[in-house]
């Protein structure tokens, strides 16, 4: 990756879709801190106002609505997408990362003002096709990247490892317990959303027409068990680690959409051989500053 990069002198207007999400919120905070004018397309403005910084302009809207998408992208220079497949949703449902991104692509057909589109993808989606693993959720995520890269405007795609937030509000956390399942075979380079947000802010200041792919990882790699132990030993909260055999997840996985999601994501996370590949990202966007111990101390 090229080391001599230029940054916008004047901050541009960033539009965020997915600002209220687990990872949208910390990124929006960092975008505001970095001086961007941030607008968020939100489904429930009253709810969003409680979680997003006061500086963020809230625009009521939904990815299901083409008119609202068009009106939103007409007000911004850069679009940042922080979307997800909800654990309890089904393949046949409206999926923000499938129909939502298709709608954005359609809206952009007659729109020329947008300078860049940025998308939060994931590293573990690369597990698709390994050991016969085939999951519709990863297929949607892989296709989303293809659609974004086929657009006529420059793109920035972020591929993060597992976020430390999974121990606080995300999928490892169940009340006062950290819930693990099966054998976590490889190290994951856990990253704090705050560090990621700073890297996104820096990436969105790059002033050129290049397409960027950034692998987002923390400094240290741990398997799920080692990471959970560090978190539990260093958080001021009293937490316990519970571990289920993977066979248990398989049985529960047939019981409903949410369990099926859990079984698939755990299988992928446990077996994806994540290699450290963030050095080129750090050269352009800076290094993470929060290790797992520090993160745990803060939560």
Ligand X SMILES: NC(=O)c1ccc[n+]([C@@H]2O[C@H](COP(=O)([O-])OP(=O)(O)OC[C@H]3O[C@@H](n4cnc5c(N)ncnc54)[C@H](OP(=O)(O)O)[C@@H]3O)[C@@H](O)[C@H]2O)c1
Considering only 28, 52, 80, 84, the residue that binds ligand X (CB under 6 A) is 84
Between 17 and 296, whose beta carbon lies closer to ligand X?
Answer: 17
**What residue is closest to ligand X based on CB?**
21
- Let me know if 236 is exposed, middle or buried by CB neighbors in 10 A (0-12, 13-18, 19+): exposed
The answer for 18, left when phi > 0, alpha when psi is -120 to 50, beta otherwise, is left
Nearer to ligand X, 37 or 62 (CB): 62
Q: Are 99 and 154 within 8 A, CB to CB?
A: no
Asked whether 114 and 156 are in contact (CB, 8 A), the reply is no
Q: Is 233 buried (19+), middle (13-18) or exposed (0-12) by CB count in 10 A?
A: exposed
Site for ligand X in 222-261 (CB under 6 A): none
The distance of closest approach from Cβ of residue 79 to ligand X in the complex, given in angstroms and rounded to an integer, is 12
Q: Does 277 bind ligand X (CB under 6 A)?
A: no
User: In angstroms, what is the minimal distance from the CB of 91 to ligand X?
Assistant: 15
The least distance separating ligand X from the CB of residue 7, rounded to whole angstroms, comes to 25
* Residues of span 12-41 touching ligand X by CB under 6 A: 17-24, 41
Residues in 127-166 that interact with ligand X by CB under 6 A: 160, 162-163, 166
214 bridge partner residues? 158
Sign, Cα dihedral of 111, 117, 121, 123 = positive
Cβ contact 59:199 at 8 Å: no
Asked if residue 288 binds ligand X (CB under 6 A), the reply is no
Q: What is the DSSP letter of 128?
A: T
**CB closer to ligand X out of 122 and 168:** 122
Query: Which phi and psi (to 5°) does residue 97 adopt?
Result: -85, -5
Task: Compute the least distance from the CB of residue 159 to ligand X, in Å.
Answer: 8
- Residues of this chain that bind ligand X (CB under 6 A): 17-24, 41, 43-44, 62-64, 82-84, 86, 96, 100, 120, 122, 160, 162-163, 166, 170
């Amino acid at each position: 990756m090229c080391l001599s990069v230029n940054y916008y002198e004047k901050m541009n207007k960033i539009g965020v879709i997915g600002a209220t999400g687990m990872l949208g919120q910390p990124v929006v905070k960092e975008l505001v801190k970095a001086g961007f004018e941030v607008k968020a397309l939100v489904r429930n403005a009253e709810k969003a106002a409680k979680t997003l910084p006061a500086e963020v302009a809230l625009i009521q809207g939904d990815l299901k609505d083409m008119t609202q998408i068009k009106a939103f992208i007409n007000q911004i220079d850069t679009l940042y997408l922080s979307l997800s497949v909800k654990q309890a949703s089904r393949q046949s449902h409206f999926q923000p990362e499938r129909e939502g991104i298709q709608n954005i692509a359609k809206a952009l057909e007659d729109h020329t003002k947008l300078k860049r589109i940025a998308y939060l993808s994931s590293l573990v989606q690369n597990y698709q096709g390994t050991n016969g693993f085939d999951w519709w959720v990863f297929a949607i995520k892989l296709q989303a990247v293809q659609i974004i890269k086929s657009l006529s405007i420059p793109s920035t795609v972020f591929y993060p490892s597992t976020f430390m937030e999974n121990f606080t509000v995300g999928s490892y956390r169940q009340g006062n317990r950290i819930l693990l399942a099966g054998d976590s075979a490889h190290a994951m380079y856990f990253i704090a959303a705050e560090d990621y947000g700073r890297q996104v802010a820096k990436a969105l200041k790059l002033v050129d027409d290049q397409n960027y792919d950034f692998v987002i990882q923390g400094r240290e790699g741990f398997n799920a068990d080692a990471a959970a132990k560090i978190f539990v030993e260093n958080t001021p909260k009293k937490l316990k680690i519970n571990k289920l055999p993977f066979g248990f997840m398989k049985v529960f996985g047939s019981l409903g959409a949410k369990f099926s999601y859990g079984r698939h994501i755990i299988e992928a996370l446990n077996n994806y051989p994540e290699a450290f590949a963030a050095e080129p990202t750090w050269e352009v966007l800076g290094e993470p500053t929060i290790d797992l111990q520090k993160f745990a101390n803060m939560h």
